[in-house]
Chain A
Amino acid sequence: MSTHQITLTVNGASHSVQTEARTLLVHLIREQLNLTGTHIGCDTSSCGACTVIVNGRAIKSCTMFAVQADGATIETIEGLAGAGLHPLQEGFWEKHGLQCGYCTPGMIMSAKALLAQNPNPSEEEIRYGISGNLCRCTGYVKIVEAIQYAAAKLREQQTQEVPA
Chain B
Amino acid sequence: MIPSAFDFYAPRTLDEAIALLAEHGDEAKVLAGGQSLIPAMRFRLAAPAVLVDINGIGGLDGLRETNGHLAIGALTREAALEEYTFIRERYPLLADAAHVIADPLVRNRATVGGNLAHADPANDHPAVMLAYGAELAAHGPRGARTIPIDDFFTGMFSTSLEPDELLTEIRIPRPGPGSGGAYLKVERKVGDYAISAVAVQLTMDGPTIRTIRIALTNVSPTPIRAEEAERILTGQTLTDATLEAAGQAAAAACDPSADLRGSIEYKRDLTRVLVKRAVRRAAERATK
A contact residues vs B (CB 8 Å cutoff): 1-2, 4, 20-24, 27, 43-46, 48, 51, 57-60, 63-65, 67-68, 70, 110, 128-133
Contact = CB atoms under 8 A, between A and B. Distances in A.
Interface in B30-86: 31, 34-35, 38-39, 41-43, 51, 53, 55, 79
Given A65-B38, A68-B55, A132 B2 contact: no
Interface stretch (B17-25, B102-110, B216-224, B263-271): B102-110
Contacts of B31: 65, 68
Contacts of B109: 59-60, 63-64
A45 B39 contact: yes
Contacts of A27: 2
B157 interface: no
Nearest to B3: A22
A48 B105 contact: yes
Contacts of A63: 34-35, 38-39, 106, 109
Nearest to B55: A68
A1 B7 contact: yes
A58 B34 contact: no
Contact of A133 (B8, B55, B105): B105
Given A68-B55, A132-B191, A43 B42 contact: yes
Q: Is the interface of B mostly helix, strand, loop or mixed?
A: loop
Given A44-B39, A45-B39, A132-B191, A22 B105 contact: no
Contacts of B104: 58, 110, 128-132
A11 to B, nearest CB: 19
A10 B58 CA distance: 25
Given A63-B38, A68-B31, 19 more contacts: A2-B7, A2-B8, A21-B5, A21-B8, A21-B51, A22-B2, A22-B4, A43-B42, A44-B39, A45-B38, A60-B105, A60-B106, A63-B35, A65-B31, A65-B38, A68-B53, A110-B104, A131-B103, A132-B190
B6 A21 contact: yes
Nearest to A110: B105
Contacts of A131: 103-104, 190-191
Contact of B106 (A1, A20, A65, A132): A132
A43 B79 contact: no
Contact of B103 (A2, A43, A65, A132): A132
Contact of A57 (B7, B35, B108): B108
B38 A64 contact: yes
Contacts of B8: 2, 4, 21, 65, 67
Given A64-B34, A68-B55, A58 B105 contact: yes
B1 interface: yes
A75 to B, nearest CB: 14
A59 B108 contact: yes
12 contacts: A1-B5, A21-B51, A22-B41, A44-B39, A45-B39, A51-B105, A60-B105, A63-B34, A67-B10, A70-B10, A132-B102, A132-B190
